């Protein structure tokens, strides 16, 4: 007689992912404020550094910081003291 094979039963594994922590409205608001704060800080630092660079370039060229000495500036004469 031929050998009868046993029926193959498949092994089924169920993967259970760990639960995640619940996100609240406060978490979302704090995250939004932190992103806005970082972007604001970057903007302030870039503004200060570019202002310092422009002031340094103008001083190096020999012009006044306010742009009142010579150069290519044109005085409009809009003041009331000259009438």
- pLDDT at residue 75, rounded to an integer: 75
**Lookup: tokens for 56:** 């340094």
pTM score of the predicted model: 0.51
Whole-angstrom distance, CA of residue 21 vs CA of residue 27: 11
Q: What is the mean pLDDT of each run of 10 residues along the chain (83 residues)?
A: 73 87 94 98 98 92 61 74 57
22 backbone dihedrals φ, ψ, rounded to 5°? -70, 135
């Amino acid at each position: 007689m031929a050998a009868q094979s046993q029926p193959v039963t498949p092994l089924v594994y169920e993967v259970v992912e760990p639960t995640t922590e619940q996100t609240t409205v406060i978490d979302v608001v704090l995250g939004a404020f932190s992103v806005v704060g970082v972007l604001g800080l970057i903007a302030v630092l870039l503004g200060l550094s570019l202002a310092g660079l422009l002031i340094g370039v103008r001083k190096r060229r020999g012009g006044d910081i306010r742009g009142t000495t010579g150069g290519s500036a044109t005085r409009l004469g809009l003041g009331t003291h000259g009438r």
